[in-house]
Amino acid sequence: MMIPERLRREVWEANLGIYRAGLVTMHSGNASGIDRRRGLVVIKPSGMDYDKLRPSDLVVTDLEGRQVAGKWRPSVDLRHHLYLYQRCPEIGGIIHTHSNYATSFAMLGRPIPAYLTAIADEFGGEIPCAPYADNAGDHLGEAVLKAMGRAPAVLLAHHGAFTFGPTPRAAFKAAVMLEDVAKTCHLGLLLGQPQPLPPEEVRKWYERYHTAYGQRRRD
């Protein structure tokens, strides 16, 4: 079986990225990616320190979770990643963290309303919070899927957050942005009661960010 080396590198970079960005500590959290053509998922091994992780340590499984490469056991959250990959063909990368500010909202079972233009830009509206779900079976995957809206992120009550994107890199960006806006909202809520942006303003910022922002080739 051909092992997707480029994907392995991308997933390794995403795992390293969440560690360097301070979104995970010790063994918590994980990043994965999928090669849709080959039907292979690459994910962090269970209980391994991020700073010791090498690309060759990552585990490769098929979409049913059968291990096809790697000498370590996969993350215990593999089942939830597979559940989402099986049901969301547009998702190419998934990240799970317990990042502090995002999890402070999750702890209270609170979604993050579109208080900021940065939330409108990246998330297109409220960042939803799924109800508490046990880690066993498909409960957690089901809860995340049910809560999923436009935003590439879902908070999970009493637990943490899942972010997703078309690539592991995009899921990583969503994880970083989620923690950034969650921190600002957490601080703002200490000062007073903010109002969410009106829906038409959210739509405007989201559309502009996804059509006109950044660099485009001119040829």
Active-site residue set: 121, 213
> How far apart (Å, rounded) are the C-alpha atoms in residues 104 and 212?
33
Q: What residues does 60 pair with on adjacent strands?
A: 42, 69
CB of 98 to Zn ion, least distance (A): 6
Residue nearest to Zn ion as judged by C-beta position: 160
Q: For residues 114 and 153, which CB has a smaller minimum distance to Zn ion in the complex?
A: 153
Query: How far apart, in whole angstroms, are the C-alpha atoms of residue 156 and residue 76?
Result: 16
Residue 142 in tokens: 């089901």
CB of 61 to Zn ion, least distance (A): 19
Q: How far is CA 43 from the centre of its chain?
A: 13
Binding mask 148-177 toward Zn ion (x if CB under 5 A, else -) reads ------------x-----------------
Which residue, 128 or 160, is less far from Zn ion as judged by CB? 160
Q: What is the DSSP string of 13-47?
A: HHHHHHHHTTS--TT--EEEEEETTTTEEEEPBTT
Q: How many residues bind Zn ion (CB under 5 A)?
A: 1
| Cβ 110 to Zn ion shortest distance, Å | 18
- Crossing angle for the helix pair 5-20 and 168-191, to the nearest 10 degrees: 20
Question: By C-beta, is 50 or 115 nearer to Zn ion?
Answer: 50
Adjacency order of strands within the sheet including 129-130: 67-69, 59-62, 40-43, 30-35, 93-97, 160-165, 153-156, 129-130
Is residue 152 within 8 A of residue 174, CB to CB? The reply is yes
What is the nearest approach in angstroms of Zn ion to the Cβ of residue 1? 29
Smallest distance, Zn ion to C-beta of residue 76, A: 9
The contact set with Zn ion (CB under 5 A) reads 160
